[in-house]
Amino acid sequence: MIDHADEGQLERYSLGAQGETDSARVEEHLLICESCRERLQETDVYTAAMRGAAQSLRSEAQDRARQPARPWLPLWSDALAVGLALLAVMLTWGPSVIHKSARELVPVVVLLETTRDSRTQTAPASRPLLLTADLTQLASYPAYRLEVVDAAGRRVVGSPPSPGSGKLSLPIAGGLARGAYYVRLYALSGELLREFGLRVT
Amino acid sequence: MAIEQQQEAIAKTVLQGISRRDREILTRFYLLEETQEQICEGMNLSETQFRLLKSRAKARFGDLGRRKLARRGLLRFA
């Protein structure tokens, strides 16, 4: 009965970790046993692969250790740095953007004077408007209302009847498109009290 | 990729898939050529534990190798 070399023996032989006597015994067996020679070949492949892999991982670990130490900031410092950079951008350019947006939200006041020689008022297009009619020069009525019509006389927007204590306002949140308009001031009875020209540019 | 490189890549996968301690044990054995006795004494493990670790690593190596070959259609089962 042949005593085949066990796995440990083959492994130690492959690694060269056996003493002379033990190595000689294994070699004598290998001479006559093809099965063990094949097993030794597999063991050689395995030990070489493990040696190479261990070396590779060790080198990588040493390279990592040799890299300059990270600054005192922790690992999430990259995210923090990006956040701070974004904040800096917002603080630098943000106010101008915000200012512009806020400006665009503030309605433009268009004062409609009720004197007979009132000129055509102008207003910017697509900006919130606040049409304000000064009623102090007019006879007193219980209530008034404002109405905006386009050049063809079509009603665009109007205010509900209001007592109008000296002034009557008509907010137009979405503004008006470019064109010519007329702002008409009516008494509650429907009497047209004044008409103002409004050019939206 | 040469066969040796493939084998090494598989072995690397095996080593990366085990704990740091187990990786240290196998590194001492295969790379630093320490004896079983030295490793067991230095890392406070029994001979049985050492053999079991080696056996599992080798089995994993064989398993990964067979899967690789099967993916490439090179492994034919009788």
pLDDT score for A7: 85
Residue A7: closest CA among B65, A15, A59: A15
pLDDT score for B76: 47
Express each pLDDT in B8-17 by its tens digit.
999 999 999 9
Contact A51 B30 (CB under 8 A): yes
Average pLDDT over chain B, rounded to an integer:
87
pLDDT score for A73: 56
* pTM for this entry: 0.50
Q: Is A51 on the interface with B (CB under 8 A)?
A: yes
Q: Is A81 on the interface with B (CB under 8 A)?
A: no
Interface test with A, best of B1, B5, B8, B18 (most A CBs within 10 A): B8
Q: Is A54 on the interface with B (CB under 8 A)?
A: yes
Q: Which of B9, B27, B61 sits opposite A46 (nearest CB)?
A: B61
Q: Which of A8, A52, A58 sits opposite B8 (nearest CB)?
A: A52
The answer to whether A183 and A148 are in contact (CB under 8 A) is yes
pLDDT: is A111 or B26 the higher one? B26
Residue B54: closest CA among B77, B67, B68, B35: B35
* Closest-CA distance of chain B to residue A48, Å: 8
CB interface of B with A, residues 53-72, below 8 Å: 54, 57-58, 61
pLDDT: is B77 or A191 the higher one? A191
pLDDT score for B77: 44
Q: Which of A11, A16, A57 sits opposite B12 (nearest CB)?
A: A57
Band (pLDDT 50/70/90 cuts) for residue B78 is: very low
How many CB atoms sit inside 10 A of residue A186's CB? 20
How far is residue A198's CA from residue A181's CA, in Å, rounded to a whole number? 5
From first to last of its 201 residues, what are the pLDDT tens digits of chain A? 557 888 888 888 898 888 888 888 889 999 999 999 999 998 999 999 999 999 999 998 888 887 766 655 555 666 677 777 777 777 776 665 555 555 566 788 888 875 555 567 888 888 888 888 877 777 778 888 889 998 888 899 988 887 766 788 888 888 899 999 989 888 888 888 888 889 998
